[in-house]
Amino acid sequence: MRKLTNILVTGGAGFIGSNFIHYLFKDTDFDGRIINMDSLTYAGNPENLTEIDENFGGSRFFFEKADIRDYDAAEAVFKKYDVDTVIHFAAESHVDRSIFGPKDFIDTNISGTFSLLEIARSFWENRDNVLFHHISTDEVFGSLGDTGFFYENTPYDPRSPYSASKASSDHLVRAYNHTYGLPVTLSNCSNNYGPYQFPEKLIPVMIMNIKEEKPLPVYGDGKNIRDWLYVNDHNSAVWAIVNSGKTGETYNIGGENEWENIKLVNVLCEKMAVFLNKDKEYYKKLITYVKDRPGHDRRYAINCDKIKKELGWKQSVDFNAGLERTVQWYLQNQDWIDHVRSGDYRNWIEKNYSGR
């Protein structure tokens, strides 16, 4: 077990990062400090951590508004808090956005990761009680056919600007381990779902469109397959790796839970009908097939035997239960949804967080 004292979480105001911070404070015995460094782009929302800030702000939880691409700003955070652990969630992550605007993905995911690695290499020179953990995705492996799985040694074959930028950052992290001896671990996860996910991804989009009785857009024939992982199961796996994973190793984190997109949308219609006391068939009639996304990978599926055998991790949230929790969260947090979708949201961020 590693001794972790001052953990820097990059992108901690985003979907997975904020859930990870909640997980650390609520579900682990970690008693050190958490520093959330986030530049608060469109998907970063400090409201995700209001409860944590109220209970631990200034003592064990700290927020620093900084961009991972800004070397001086990020270095100042390392020095201010004597960071000994980095858990690097920060990334541009939406495939559709990468297709129409790839530059931000190259700048953030590659250049930003490079900046953090350089700071860590300099700040941690000759230290062995430190760790840089890099969060990646199954999308770097490309697309599977009807059978087979992604393993840790599956060759990379990224198909979108997003996955190419993540593959590049993965290679950089490994290079810093092999070339400079920087203590690193990596993880590649499948599709996450759960609370606080920005409403541009499949599950929150469908939940909100069903509630508002809007069309439910499904790419192509709807038979693209994804492996779904509840966000807290992802976070428990990351915590296991950070504490006990072997330096230099990569661990796949999967839900072992494959669903065709169209079947998942149908299930969401059925669950929403129960919660809203409506006719499920009415909601299903809202399903609208749209032109397929360019380069749309057909199937992802992760083999996660390694992390199960070596670190004793396993999923704890059944998909049916996790999906119901997620639906309920979005139905119960309409104010959060309205705020992040509102036109004055960015102005609110600038007013309240510009100087932090």
Catalytic residues: 138-139, 162
Q: Which residues contact 242 (CB under 8 A, 6 or more apart)?
A: 2, 4, 85, 87, 131, 133, 185
CB contact at 8 A, 162 and 92: yes
Please state the length of the chain: 356
Dihedral sign from CA coordinates of 318, 14, 184, 28: negative
Distance, CA of 202 to CA of 193 (rounded, Å): 9
Residue 189 in contact with residue 195, Cβ under 8 Å?
no
Dihedral angle at the C-alpha atoms of 299, 304, 305, 311, nearest 10 degrees? 180
The answer to whether 17 touches 45, Cβ cutoff 8 Å, is no
Which residue reads 């702000």 in tokens?
57
